[in-house]
Amino acid sequence: MASTLHDVARLAGVSIKTVSNVINDYPHIRPATKARVEQAIADLGYTPNLTARSLRSGRTGAIALAVPELALSYFAELAAAVIEAADEAGVVVLVEQTGGDRDRELELLRSPRLQMTDGLIFSALGMGQDDAEHLERPYPLVLLGERIFDAPVDHVTMRNVEAARAATEYLLASGRRRIAVVGAHPGEVIGSAGLRLRGYREALEAAGVPYDDSIISETTTWHRSNGARGMRDLLDRGVTFDAVFGLNDTLALGAMRVLQEAGIRVPEDVAVMGFDGLDEAQYSIPSLTTVDPGQRWIARTAVATLLERIRRTDAAGEPRLLLADFHIAERESAPSEAMIGA
Amino acid sequence: MASTLHDVARLAGVSIKTVSNVINDYPHIRPATKARVEQAIADLGYTPNLTARSLRSGRTGAIALAVPELALSYFAELAAAVIEAADEAGVVVLVEQTGGDRDRELELLRSPRLQMTDGLIFSALGMGQDDAEHLERPYPLVLLGERIFDAPVDHVTMRNVEAARAATEYLLASGRRRIAVVGAHPGEVIGSAGLRLRGYREALEAAGVPYDDSIISETTTWHRSNGARGMRDLLDRGVTFDAVFGLNDTLALGAMRVLQEAGIRVPEDVAVMGFDGLDEAQYSIPSLTTVDPGQRWIARTAVATLLERIRRTDAAGEPRLLLADFHIAERESAPSEAMIGA
DNA sequence: CCGCCACTCTACAACGTTGTAGGCGACAGA
DNA sequence: TCTGTCGCCTACAACGTTGTAGAGTGGCGG
């Protein structure tokens, strides 16, 4: 297990470079020599030392993935897809959690730990547009998320505005007119919340339905408990609505639970729409209608883009913005045709 | 960014070893020299090359975590807890997915990739007791899960039998007598399914309630859809039961959905008990009563144990078996007192 | 018969770091 | 004054690998 090229070379009676050549499929080796070396490798159970290889080559064969929290289903599914795609390319993934905290995100970006990897897929949540400059590092980086745009890095993300608009149009088409929102971030312009709320407003405007502040509920983070809290908040206000758009699935599921507790029927009294296309949204009661923003495509594309950047160190090539296609997964919580309350 | 000890040394007018000494807090350095070196480090923005350090020291500062699938909430939460604990110890985590496939698990165990890490936390799912020998490697390893016992490695896991027995006793105490099971694995003796089913049977026996094959539903994997399928299966059989024990939360949630679809009230007609203590079990409708088997403790303990093994390379010390405490999280799907159907 | 090339292999240096051995001056004790 | 010790620093080698340069053999064309 602790055997090296030297040990193999000694056993096979050749120089270490010849052993190295055998391992790396260098063409000009006599079959007899090659066989002898391979026998020695097998006898000793030799495996190349990857650390030494990394030092020589400057490549580690690993990439880093930074997400806010793995315990959030969205990021767990993202990480699963990234690891799978990386694995197909023979690359391993080092996962970091930032907690969605701006300071920890910035710290991570300049952490020496990143040296252990050839590049980073970075899902920012705490940083904002003003932090774009911090992304400008001499290190292959692919940005995910919607906190920062126009930074000079490759960016793979979803069509938030269009997807949210489509989701809202879907609810409008099914006859809903008072569509509450759970998970808004006050004053946010970009960021998932800001963009999705914009799509929502665009759809309302196009349909001639007035925008009403009183049915918009704000939350800080997008944990499940906040979806529940946001819905309780709306109910406490005493406002009326016939649909809820959860700005992500987790919020929508939390909100749906509170609706049910309050004796409000989903979808008869209130339709519920989510956003993310999570696996678990299929199995809630009722199952959740949601927008699938193309997460698997995002993961695969992020990995491919990063690996390409790593390969071609030769200067840049323009930073690219890559956008996933979305579609609405129609399920029970918001059927496409209006239902008449029983 | 590409600056090395040599660059710093040249700028500060000292030898590279002195720079190295400054970085590693070697005590005997004149303050003036130290200041000069630190200035040079700052000027050049020097950071030590971790790969070279690893080569020299034989340590990488990274550990590997192998789980079946990150998209399964249980493993996502496990990974989150492991990464958090590792982070506190200044160690990064490389995450691998095995798909719960025996061949891929074995392949991973002898993969040269592991060289990139100092040790492995291995959550086995496909391997069985007969594969114990494969765990015997000259490489720090902590085993999780309940597929393999008595292997000569540290093993951190939960009290499956006792916890399942407690869960069943809880249902019995609330007046249920026909407790169906979803997620059994036919013929399995150890493994989560086997052990939990054993706890279930022990509780029945102690209470003098007969064990009935006809209300035990088998599934292969523990995905949500299989919980739903298992429950449909039970309903199709036309058997009667007044409670369901899902061998994990995901199965229980899937089963609960099907119950609800079938117009069966939870918990009035059928109580539902899960196993895992997942975050999302708090937010289902109704919220899921479940056994929290102490997952966070398991994650923290696994990391601490592995790091200790890495530190003391000196021979072994006996392999240890570490068991987490469990507790029942009482929620709506199975209240502790029997409810009379409305 | 010479020169050239293709093939096979080796020696050496280098990637960037840290452990070891040792040099040099200063100062204390004899 | 000599010896020993301590503080400060340097040179060198080593971790295990791969790129570069080149040495030796044999075959082939001229």
Instruction: Please tell me whether residues B167 and B284 are part of one structural domain.
Output: yes
Instruction: Please tell me whether residues A35 and A105 are part of one structural domain.
Output: no
Nucleotide showing the shortest C1' distance to residue B16 CA: D10
Distance CA B189, CA B128 (A): 10
Q: Answer whether residue B71 is part of any domain.
A: yes
Which of A47, A54, A57 is the best substitution to test chain B (most B C-beta atoms within 10 A)?
A54
CATH code of residue B21: 1.10.260.40
Find the mean pLDDT for residues A235-245. Answer: 96
* Res. B315 pLDDT band, cuts 50 70 90: low
Q: Is there a contact between A279 and B50 if contact means CB atoms under 8 Å apart?
A: no
**Residue B208 CA from chain centroid, whole number:** 34
Instruction: Please tell me whether residues A250 and A274 are part of one structural domain.
Output: yes
**What percentage of chain B has pLDDT greater than the value 90?**
78
Instruction: Please tell me whether residues A131 and A228 are part of one structural domain.
Output: no
A50: nearest CB among B76, B96, B112: B112
Q: Answer whether residue A340 is part of any domain.
A: no
Q: Do B175 and B155 contact (CB within 8 A), yes or no?
A: no
Find the mean pLDDT for residues B166-174. Answer: 97
Q: How far is CA A60 from CA A31, A57, A277, A298, B115, in A?
A: 31, 8, 34, 24, 11
- CA B206-B211-B212 angle, 5° bins: 165
Residue A307 has pLDDT above 70, yes or no: yes
pLDDT digits (tens, 9 = 90+) for A124-176: 999 988 999 999 888 899 999 988 888 889 999 999 999 999 999 999 999 99
Q: What pLDDT was estimated at residue B271? A: 97
Q: Answer whether residue B16 is part of any domain.
A: yes
Average pLDDT over chain A reads: 92
Which residues constitute the domain of residue B97?
Answer: 62-158+294-311
Q: What pLDDT was estimated at residue A340? A: 46
Q: What pLDDT was estimated at residue A338? A: 53
The bridge status of strand A179-184 relative to strand A216-218 is: parallel
Q: Answer whether residue A55 is part of any domain.
A: no
* Res. B237 pLDDT band, cuts 50 70 90: very high
Which residues of chain A are within 8 Å of residue B52 when distances are taken between CB atoms?
Answer: 55
Q: Do A58 and A44 contact (CB within 8 A), yes or no?
A: no
Q: What pLDDT was estimated at residue B224? A: 81
Instruction: Please tell me whether residues B153 and B165 are part of one structural domain.
Output: no
Instruction: Please tell me whether residues B128 and B104 are part of one structural domain.
Output: yes
Which residues of chain A are within 8 Å of residue B83 when distances are taken between CB atoms?
Answer: 70, 95-97
Q: Answer whether residue B110 is part of any domain.
A: yes
Q: How many domains does chain A have?
A: 3
Distance CA B130, CA B133 (A): 7
Dihedrals phi, psi of B241, to nearest 5 degrees = -160, 155
> Tokens 């869960």 label which residue?
B167
Q: To the nearest 10°, the Cα dihedral for A247, A253, A258, A262?
A: 100
Q: Answer whether residue B336 is part of any domain.
A: no
Instruction: Please tell me whether residues A164 and A221 are part of one structural domain.
Output: yes
Q: What pLDDT was estimated at residue A316? A: 61
Instruction: Please tell me whether residues B299 and B233 are part of one structural domain.
Output: no
Instruction: Look at residue A164 and give its three-state secondary structure.
Output: helix
* Res. A23 pLDDT band, cuts 50 70 90: very high
Instruction: Please tell me whether residues B99 and B173 are part of one structural domain.
Output: no
Distance CA B111, CA A50 (A): 11
Q: What pLDDT was estimated at residue B316? A: 61
A285: nearest CB among B84, B282, B285: B285
What is the Rg, in whole angstroms, of the alpha carbon atoms belonging to chain A?
A: 26
Instruction: Please tell me whether residues B288 and B298 are part of one structural domain.
Output: no
Read off the pTM. 0.92
CATH code of residue A273: 3.40.50.2300
Q: Is there a contact between B260 and A84 if contact means CB atoms under 8 Å apart?
A: no
Q: What pLDDT was estimated at residue B105? A: 96
Dihedrals phi, psi of B275, to nearest 5 degrees = -155, 120
Distance CA A203, CA A283 (A): 28
Instruction: Please tell me whether residues A288 and A299 are part of one structural domain.
Output: no
Q: What pLDDT was estimated at residue B9? A: 93
Instruction: Please tell me whether residues B264 and B226 are part of one structural domain.
Output: yes
Distance CA A334, CA A329 (A): 10
Q: Answer whether residue A335 is part of any domain.
A: no
Residue A123 has pLDDT above 60, yes or no: yes
pLDDT digits (tens, 9 = 90+) for B284-308: 888 999 999 999 999 999 999 999 9
* Res. B182 pLDDT band, cuts 50 70 90: very high
Q: Which two tokens stand for residue B154?
A: 């540290």
Find the mean pLDDT for residues B167-187. Answer: 95
What DSSP string describes B44-84?
A: HT----HHHHHHHHS--SEEEEEES-TTSHHHHHHHHHHHH
Q: Write down which residues 9-38 in B have CB closer than 7 A to strand D.
A: 13-18, 21, 27-30, 32-34
Q: Answer whether residue B211 is part of any domain.
A: yes
Q: What pLDDT was estimated at residue A90? A: 94
Positive or negative, the Cα torsion across A309, A314, A320, A324? Answer: negative
